[in-house]
């Protein structure tokens, strides 16, 4: 089995469950490889989780950065983010990044450091977007940009987490639309 295939198997397993609860033995069984070959390829369980997180960031999280940097107005961008959180079929089982972030104390040092890097990059992207909208005369009222950015990120995380819990996507859309409406205040 190729490295890419092992990453695909591991990413699916971590995404479906709790990344800290999926054992290397389970990954090797699902991938049909030996434990020594997995360690030879990734160095450690931490190395495997880091590689999976990097792949997830490139394939999934990058879409959020594209939305934020798309150059669209506040409403159009918020709508695209709401669509992603409430309608993207991949989010039915939650977000692998948010799962890792919530359980980062159970991750190895390499993966934990990458989670923190990605989280900081996300907050910076939210802040840059919101600052650009404020500069264009749109929204966020008197809120400090860093507070609004954190709020935006946490509302998206909550919506995706609620989807993973099996809540109705239409209701999540309504709730997220309501929650993000505070960002449209002049």
Q: The domain that contains 129 carries what CATH number?
A: 1.10.357.10
The model's pTM: 0.92
Taking a C-beta distance cutoff of 8 angstroms, is the pair 50, 80 a contact?
A: no
Boundaries of domain holding 163: 3-184
Residuewise pLDDT in 10s, the chain (186 residues): 577 789 999 999 999 988 989 999 999 999 999 999 999 999 999 999 999 999 999 999 999 999 999 989 999 999 999 999 999 999 999 999 999 999 999 999 999 999 999 999 999 999 999 999 999 999 888 899 999 999 999 999 999 999 999 999 999 999 999 999 999 987
Rounded Cα–Cα distance for residues 166 and 93 (Å): 8
Within 8 A by CB and 6+ apart from 145, the residues are: 127, 130, 131, 134
Taking a C-beta distance cutoff of 8 angstroms, is the pair 19, 100 a contact?
A: yes
User: 3-state SS of 21-58?
Assistant: HCCHHHHHHHHCCCHHHHHHHHCCHHHHHHHHHHHHHH
Taking a C-beta distance cutoff of 8 angstroms, is the pair 94, 120 a contact?
A: no
Q: Output the pLDDT for position 26.
A: 94
Taking a C-beta distance cutoff of 8 angstroms, is the pair 69, 125 a contact?
A: yes
Rounded Cα–Cα distance for residues 163 and 54 (Å): 23
Domain count, the chain: 1
Nearest residue to 56 (alpha-carbon basis) of 2, 118, 120, 125: 118
Rounded Cα–Cα distance for residues 145 and 128 (Å): 8
């Amino acid at each position: 089995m190729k490295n890419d295939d092992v990453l695909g198997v591991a990413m699916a397993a971590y995404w479906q469950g709790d990344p800290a609860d999926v054992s290397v033995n389970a990954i090797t069984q699902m991938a049909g490889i030996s434990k020594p070959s997995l360690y030879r390829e990734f160095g450690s369980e931490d190395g495997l989780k880091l590689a999976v997180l990097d792949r997830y960031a490139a394939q999934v999280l990058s879409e959020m950065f594209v939305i934020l940097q798309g150059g669209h107005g506040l409403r159009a961008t918020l709508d695209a983010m709401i669509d992603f959180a409430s309608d993207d079929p991949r989010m039915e089982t939650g977000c692998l990044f948010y799962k890792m972030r919530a359980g980062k104390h159970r991750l190895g040092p390499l993966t934990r450091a990458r989670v923190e890097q990605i989280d900081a990059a996300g907050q910076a992207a939210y802040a840059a977007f919101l600052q650009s909208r404020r500069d264009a005369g749109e929204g966020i009222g008197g809120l400090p940009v860093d507070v609004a950015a954190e709020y935006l990120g946490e509302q998206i995380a909550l919506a995706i987490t609620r989807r993973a819990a099996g809540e109705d996507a239409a209701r999540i859309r309504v709730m997220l639309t309501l929650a993000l409406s505070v960002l449209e205040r002049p």
